[in-house]
Every structure is written in C-alpha cells, then in structure tokens.
C-alpha cells in the first residue's frame, strides 16, 4: 500500500513563498512549473514537494537577475555546468555594475547636498519661482556636469 504524496494548493504555495497566484500561473504558462494535479471539476491546481522545490529554485534565480527563459533553460537541464558558471559570472558582473552605478549616484547626491547646504540662495528655495528654483538646482548640480544632471533628475524622481 503506497502513501499518496501530500499536495499543496496553488494559494498555499503562493502564500508560503509570498508570491502571487498570478505569478505562479505565469511560470506554468511558460512551462517552468506544472501542477502535479489539476482538479477537473474545480480547476484547482495542486503541487508536489518536488514542484515546491522547483519554485524555490526559480524564485532564487529570478532574485539573482535571471530571466524566466534563462530560468526555464537552467531548470529543464538545458545548461551544462560550464554554461551555468558562466551565466552566474555574468550576473555577478551585472550586480557589480549596479553597485558601482549606485555608489556614483550616492557620491553625486553627497556633493549636491554639500553645495545646497553651503548655498545662501538655497535658503530661499520655497520663495523662488519654479523657473528660478530649476536654475538654482541646475547650478547646484553644475551645468557642465551632464552626468550630475541626470543623477539629480533620477534622485529627485525616484
């Protein structure tokens, strides 16, 4: 007599992993994860422990920056060890670039903050017209520093 493997409903695994049922259905449509059983009457989807493991791996890879098609390829065994290592190295470089970019923005914000703190004109920031305020902000960021201008606009509109 074999014990049937306990199955979890889609809502239960969605809640467990703190993802939406819609996201899990997308992973199913993409062919990355398939329910172990679909109730023909209710349409409820049930998942086994193996599928829960697959979802766990999927979410981890997604968090590391892999696309769903890359994840499908990895989880379906379409990638050998060397390809996987190379892909991980590429993701690591991308994250290092993101860190460098964030550090540049932080440095720019520190410089702008310093300029504004030292500025006599900035005290009247609220009294200025929109146009005067815009010119003052551009001046604080340095007109010749186009990179700084884009950093300021990104920082202000985050």
Side by side, the strands of the sheet bearing 37-38 are 8-9, 45-47, 37-38
How confident is the model at residue 67, as a pLDDT?
95
Beta pairing class for 37-38 and 45-47 = antiparallel
The answer to whether residue 93 is domain-embedded is yes
Dist CA 34 CA 143 (whole Å): 55
Q: Mean pLDDT across the stretch 70-97?
A: 94
The answer to whether residue 25 is domain-embedded is yes
Q: Which of 54, 75, 96 lies at the terminal end of a domain, its last residue?
A: 75
Q: Report the sign of the C-alpha dihedral through residues 104, 105, 108, 110, in that order.
A: negative
Distances (CA, A) of 7 to 43, 47, 50, 51: 15, 5, 10, 10
Q: Which residues lie closer than 8 Å to 46 by C-beta, 6 or more apart?
A: 7, 8, 9, 10, 35, 36, 37, 38, 39
The answer to whether residue 1 is domain-embedded is no
Residue 38 tokens, joined: 């679909």
Residue 149 tokens, joined: 């201008």
Question: Does 60 share its domain with 108?
Answer: no
The count of domains in the chain is 2
Question: Does 44 share its domain with 97?
Answer: no
Domain CATH number, residue 24: 1.10.1660.10
Q: Mean pLDDT across the stretch 26-38?
A: 93
The answer to whether residue 2 is domain-embedded is no
**Stated pTM of the model:** 0.68
pLDDT at 78 over 60: yes
Question: Does 86 share its domain with 68?
Answer: no
Nearest residue to 52 via CA among 67, 71, 34: 34
Domain enclosing residue 124, as ranges: 81-156
Average pLDDT of the chain is 86
Question: Does 113 share its domain with 129?
Answer: yes
Beta pairing class for 37-38 and 8-9 = unpaired
Of all residues in the chain, the percent with pLDDT exceeding 90 is 56
pLDDT at 5 over 50: yes
The answer to whether residue 3 is domain-embedded is no
Question: Does 92 share its domain with 144?
Answer: yes
């Amino acid at each position: 007599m074999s014990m049937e493997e306990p199955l979890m409903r889609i809502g239960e695994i969605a809640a467990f992993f703190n993802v939406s049922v819609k996201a899990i259905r997308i992973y199913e449509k993409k062919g990355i994860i398939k329910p172990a059983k679909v109730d023909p009457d209710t349409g409820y989807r049930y998942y086994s422990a193996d599928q829960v493991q697959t979802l766990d791996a999927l979410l981890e890879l997604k968090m590391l920056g892999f696309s769903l098609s890359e994840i499908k390829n990895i989880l379906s065994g379409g990638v050998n060890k060397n390809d996987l290592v190379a892909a991980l190295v590429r993701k690591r470089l991308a994250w290092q670039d993101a860190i460098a970019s964030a550090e540049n923005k932080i440095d720019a914000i520190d410089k702008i903050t310093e300029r504004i703190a030292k500025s006599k004109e900035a005290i009247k920031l609220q009294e200025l017209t929109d146009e005067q305020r815009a010119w003052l902000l551009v001046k604080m960021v340095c007109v010749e520093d186009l990179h700084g201008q884009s950093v300021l606009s990104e920082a202000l509109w985050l």
